[in-house]
Structure 1
Amino acid sequence: MTATDRALELARAAAAAADDKQATDIVAFDVSDQLVITDAFVLCSGANPPQMSAIRDAVEEKLHGLGAKPIRREGEREGRWVLLDYADIVVHIQHVEERAFYALERLWSDCPTIELGLPQ
């Protein structure tokens, strides 16, 4: 099983929105073979809570424009790890320190990455 076309569209849109707000280390994994609850994870980092809020807002705005609404949001108050669950995809916006500590890339390294088409 692979991620649906819709999941790929949303993952790429979320990544582009995060990139517009200077998020770093943007990567996406096709987790559809490992999880039944979602098709893709999008991971990105922000340097501070205001930047992370800007990334969150940009992702939500971009995906709303594509007709997607989050079914769950977590971590907004703490400002160190924001999770946006869109069912088809889950977006993780992490402070750089949390990103290094939790190392989600290591946990999902056996899953295929999704080509995001972002400028290098």
Structure 2
Amino acid sequence: MTANERTRELVRIAAKAADDKGAEDLVAFDVSDPLPLVDAFLLATGNSERNVAAIADAVEEAMLEEGVKRLRREGKSEARWILIDFGDLVVHVFHEQERVFYGLERLWKDTPLIETGVVADAPG
């Protein structure tokens, strides 16, 4: 089983909203095979608590414009790791230290990547 096209489209929309607020290291995983209730995870990193919160707010707003309401949002008060559950898509917005510490990329490394549509900055 793979993430459906609508979920892939929502990944691209959420990634663009995150990128517009300065998110870094955007990566999306197709987790539909190991997780029966979720199709995709989108991971993003912010450089401060304020930036993490702004990224999460922008993603939520973009999804709402697409007619997709959040089911759950956790971590807003600390803004170190905000999880936003949209059903088929779960967005994780991390502060850099939390992203390294929890290492979700290591956990999901064997799942297929989903194209985010966001072009990464070329190194220095």
How far did residue 86 of structure 1 move?
0.4
Q: How many Å separate the matches in 1 of 2:18 and 2:117?
A: 13
For residue 17 of structure 2, what is the aligned residue in structure 1?
Answer: 17
Q: Displacement, 1:119?
A: 2.1
Q: What TM-score, normalized by structure 1, do the two folds share?
A: 0.97
Q: Give the Cα–Cα distance (whole angstroms) in 1 for the partners of residues 78 and 37 of structure 2.
A: 25
1:87 alignment partner AA = G
Separation in 1 of the partners of 2:91 and 2:100? 17
Deviation sequence 1:87-111 (CA, Å, 0-9, x none): 0100000000000011100000000
Partner of 2:102: 102
Point out 4+ residue stretches in structure 1 off by more than 6 angstroms: none
One-letter amino acid of the counterpart of residue 106, structure 2: R
Note the residue ranges of structure 1 that are not aligned, 5 or more in a row. Answer: none
Structure 2: give runs of 5+ residues left out of the alignment: none
Q: How does 1:38-117 map to 2 (within 5 A)?
A: 38-117=38-117
1:12 is displaced (CA, Å) by 0.9
Q: 2: CA distance between counterparts of 1:28 and 1:116?
A: 7
Amino acid at match of 2:8: L
| Equivalent pair of 1:6/1:88 in contact (CA under 8 Å) | no
Query: Tell me, what secondary structure is at the counterpart of 2:94?
Result: strand
Contact 2:15 2:117 in 1 (8 A): no
Distance, in Å, in 2 between the alignment partners of 1:105 and 1:119 is 19
Q: Secondary structure at the match of 2:114?
A: coil
| Distance across 2 between alignment mates of 1:40 and 1:104 | 13
Work out the CA distance in 2 between the residues paired with 1:113 and 1:119: 15
Q: How many Å separate the matches in 1 of 2:53 and 2:116?
A: 22
